[in-house]
Structure 1
Amino acid sequence: MNDLAPAGVPGPTTCAGPAAGTALRRATPALAAYVAVRLLGLLVLAVWSAADGKDWHTLLTARWDSLWYTRVAGQGYGYAVPMPNGDLHSSLAFFPLLPWLERGLSALLPLSPADAGMAVAWVASAVAAWALYATGERLYGPRAGIALAALWAALPVGIVQSMAYSESLFTALAAWGVYAVLTERWVAAGVLASLAGLTRPVGAAVVAAVWLTAAVTLWQERSGGVRLRAALRAHPGMPAGVLLAPLGWCGFFLWVGARQGSFTGYLDVQGGWGNGFDGGLAFGAFIWQQLSGPTVVGGLGLLLGVGLVIWLYVHGVRQGQPLPLAVYGGTVLLLALTAKGYFGSKPRLMMPAYPLLLPLAAALARRRPVWSWLAIGVMAAGSAVYGAFWLNGSGPP
């Protein structure tokens, strides 16, 4: 099969691939690069926090969303905070997989739920980096895989990967789920998509990758004159994977709806937080406000950043990015840019969209190693400084 074919749909898998141990050994340089970048970020955060009279551990485990996750882990759902403007911030907005893991890990080990959440994030981020290496290696070779993992670590908001947040856990499940689609491990893809759907609302992006890839694969088979039954036999596990994929996301959505007494219960909960989807109208108004006021420079920077991520997505698609990656990355990007709410969260919401980094990883893989590592080093240093500044200031909401 040609993974770089414009159609981007994987062909039949004829073997199960190398053993996990062999695959992990191949990924060791990527994991080492990932850990080095993140350790730099943590070191700068610790020094900056100490100089600012703050505790780096508290910044990573006991602020913003991490407090809500640990509250769910310790007390279950049902906690809500009325706001002065009449909004209601409910714990039902937070998907359950991370709190479940926090509760289970803190019961097995001498860890608080908050520390358990940070441990999950650290392990999951390394697992995600492994999946990113496997993806980059499959498409462009080992050097691209290493670059992809390092670039993801060096994102400006990469410090979130080390926090007791759900982004690292989600990215690990999503990246391996999409990789399972690439390699036609349909049952594994369905299970991982379902778990991702229990982790964050954007789990719908993994479901979309499974469903659309399956639909296009069958459509291409049918266009070639293959009967549907024969096409399904040629792709074992596809029906099961397609059925399994939405169970996590739909299950939590329906459970919240039943608890709230309304089919749109989860959307109502998000509305209480000021979140929701309006097609990008609120975000567009926010950018215009920045451009038309005294913060015009910041508005231009924001506009440039949005243009860059859209260009990266389009460039990746034009390079022949496989369909599962294009669907997943595009859906994450679309949901992030069209959501209303606190606009400072958007870089964090886009962090799981790792396919956007594939064109950069492929470009770095073609350069001399000294220049590639210099570029990644500069990005890592910038990420470390920005992450420490960000987390000691307003930080991720």
Structure 2
Amino acid sequence: MLPAAELDAPQQAGPVRRAWARWWVPVLAVYAASRVVSTVLLLIFASVQGQNPWTGAHPDYFSFATIWDGLWYNIVAVSGYPSSLPTVDGIHVTENAWAFMPGYPGLVNVVMFLTRMPWAPAAVTVSVLCGAGAALVFYRLMLRVGLSASTSLFAVVLFCVSPVSPLFQLAYAESLYVLLLATALLLLVERRYGWLFPVVTVMAFTRPSGLAFALALGMHVIYRWVVRRRDPFPVRDRILSVSLTVFSGLAGLAWPAIAALATGSITAYTDTELAWRAPYIGYQHLVPFSSWFQGAYWWSNTMLGLPGWLGIAVLVVVLALFAVALFSPGVRRLGVDLWFWIVAYALYLLAVFFPQSSTFRLLMPLFPLLGAMALPRRRVYRVGMVVLFVALQVGWLAVAWGVDGADWSPP
């Protein structure tokens, strides 16, 4: 007969094991541990931060977490949007609040009202909680596309320690947007089109996304039609999916339309967005698919003093390598729907964005690729990836978040 102590041990350990066996517990544990790491890094950078346009020297955590675009979101939350576009010379539109959509500051406003917290802690709280939700949904998404539980959990590890993951605890809209996007992708994979309508709506008013998601949906609809004989495409699904594609496209155009109506300028939104690239290449019209080539030429010629064509050549090589990677076994393992999103969003970025320091943040919606990066199972690879990602966090904070005088490298 076993001693009483030995009989009691399994019973005492049982609740712990049962709790850990619940899928969400290890995911939240990974998220919490990663936030501790990022918090330490942010506090270190705050301790050496000098006086800047947003804070005094050595700011506290919440002050440091709400600089850069955090101030713009605060302006939106407090003052809304201007009825007329500010200009730098009476002609060219300058930076203003219309570049920042109302989803995130609106949610922070609700939290402020319910909790009576001031802006900074309320904004950080929303970001942290939305980041946790995004990690949970991302885990379910990885399982849904066929990755094992252990691989899905390591994908979450990479997601939580990725180079721009400090955004999960800063006053930026990325946490909310990634939560919505992960939810939308999960619903798309599960073909629950009806539930996607409200998600797409909120997502389109959180970060520019509607047109990219509409493109992904369009590819999804075409694919389902092509393979309908071996994978039935019922009439109900056809109607819903096509309607959703059109709806997403309209949602993507809704915010520019609202800005145009409110200001009386049909190009209010695009002119506002173009103001952020004016310090680099001056005021120009938006020509789709030209911005990255303009940026490559500028970075090579103006910043590095090298021939502009060399920067363009490097860009072409990078784009070619990315295209090859899209057809790698790891990326194809993620399934066609996530592949459609990765392609659609990459094309959207290539069409409209100008490459500069915030590009690292703008790559965040490509997070499904972390599932492919999580596939190798060797311990040395996985430990190395975590160390590399944390080191890249330090690099991102040094280059993009910390402010060095009149800093021109926004996150």
TM bracket (short chain): 0.7 to 0.9
AA partner of residue 157 (structure 2): A
Report the alpha carbon displacement of residue 81 of structure 1 after superposing the two structures with TM. 4.8
From 368, 371, 392, the counterpart of 2:402: 392
1:83 has 2:88 as partner: yes
User: What is the match of residue 3 of structure 2?
Assistant: none
Q: Which AA in structure 1 matches 2:169? A: S
Larger radius of gyration: 2
Structure 1 unaligned regions, length at least 5 = 1-21
Report deviation, 1:98.
0.8
**Change over 3 Å in CA distance of 1:355–1:318 after alignment to 2:** closer
Unaligned runs of 5+ in 2: 1-18, 50-56, 279-284
Following TM superposition, by how much is the alpha carbon of 1:37 offset from its aligned partner in structure 2, in angstroms? Answer: 2.0
Q: Does 1:65 align with 2:90?
A: no
1:261 aligns with 2:267: no
3-state secondary structure, aligned to 1:333:
helix
CA distance in 1, matches of 2:142, 2:358: 27
TM norm structure 2:
0.77
Aligned pairs (5 A) from 1:93-104: 93-104=99-110
**What SS is found at the alignment partner of 2:358?**
helix
Query: Is 2:351 the partner of 1:347?
Result: no
What letter is aligned with 1:257? A
Secondary structure of the equivalent of 1:343?
A: coil
Aligned to 1:181: 188
Cα distance in 1, alignment partners of residues 380 and 244 from structure 2: 42
C-alpha separation in 2, matches of 1:268 and 1:87: 6
Shifted more, 145-154 versus 312-321: the winner is 312-321
Cα drift, residue 332 of structure 1? 2.1
Relative to structure 2, which stretch is displaced further, 383-392 or 134-143?
383-392
Q: CA deviation at 1:161?
A: 2.5
Q: How does 1:132-147 map to 2 (within 5 A)?
A: 132-138=138-144, 139-147=146-154
C-alpha change, 1:66 and 1:234, in structure 2 (3 Å) is closer
Determine the structure 1 residue equivalent to 2:117: 111
Q: Distance in 2 between matches of 1:121 and 1:28?
A: 20
* 1:319 pairs with 2:329: no
CA gap 1:389/1:117 in 2 versus in 1, 3 angstroms: same
- Alpha-carbon distance, 1:320 to partner: 4.6
Q: Which amino acid aligns with 1:58?
A: S
Q: Which position in structure 1 is the counterpart of 2:40?
A: 43
Q: Percent identity?
A: 21
Aligned to 1:8: none
Q: Tell me the distance in 2 between the aligned counterparts of 1:183 and 1:211.
A: 16
Structure 1 partner of 2:295? 286
Displacement after TM superposition at 1:261 (Å): 3.0
Pairing 1:357–2:370 present: yes
Query: Does the Cα contact within 8 Å between 1:70 and 1:102 map onto a contact in 2?
Result: no
Aligned-pair CA distance for 1:186: 1.2
Structure 1 range deviating more: 338-347 or 286-295: 286-295
* 2:62–2:120 contact (8 Å) kept in structure 1: no
The residue type equivalent to 1:266 in the other structure is Y
Taking the aligned partners of 1:146 and 1:225, their CA distance within structure 2 comes to 30
Q: Contact 2:333/2:372 (CA < 8 Å) preserved in 1?
A: no
Q: 1:152 aligns with which of 138, 151, 159?
A: 159
Deviation of the 1:111 alpha carbon: 1.4
What code does the residue aligned with 2:44 have?
A: V
Q: TM-score, with normalisation over the residues of structure 1?
A: 0.79
Question: How many angstroms apart in 2 are the aligned matches of 1:340 and 1:133?
Answer: 29
- Matched with 1:9 is none
1:158–1:387 CA contact under 8 A, matched in 2: no
Q: Equivalent residue of 1:77, what SS?
A: coil
After TM superposition, give the deviation of residue 346 of structure 1 in Å: 0.7
In structure 2, do the counterparts of structure 1 residues 67 and 135 end up closer, same or farther at CA, with 3 Å as the change threshold? Answer: same
* Greater relative contact order (Cα < 8 A, sep 6+): 1
Contact kept? 2:112, 2:119, Cα under 8 Å: yes
Distance 1:358 1:232, change over 3 A: same
Q: Distance in 2 between matches of 1:179 and 1:99?
A: 25
Who is 2:255 aligned against?
A: 252
Shift of 1:207: 3.1
In the other structure, the counterpart of 1:120 is 126
- 1:279-311 Cα shifts (integer Å, max 9, x gaps): 443332433444456466x979x8587666555
Aligned-CA RMSD value: 3.5
SS of the aligned residue for 1:278 comes to coil
Are residues 164 and 250 of structure 1, via their aligned partners in 2, closer, same or farther at CA, if it must alter by over 3 Å? same
Report SS of the residue matched to 2:101: coil
Cα shift at 1:46: 0.5
**Residue matched to 1:169:** 176
Residue identity opposite 1:381 in structure 2: V
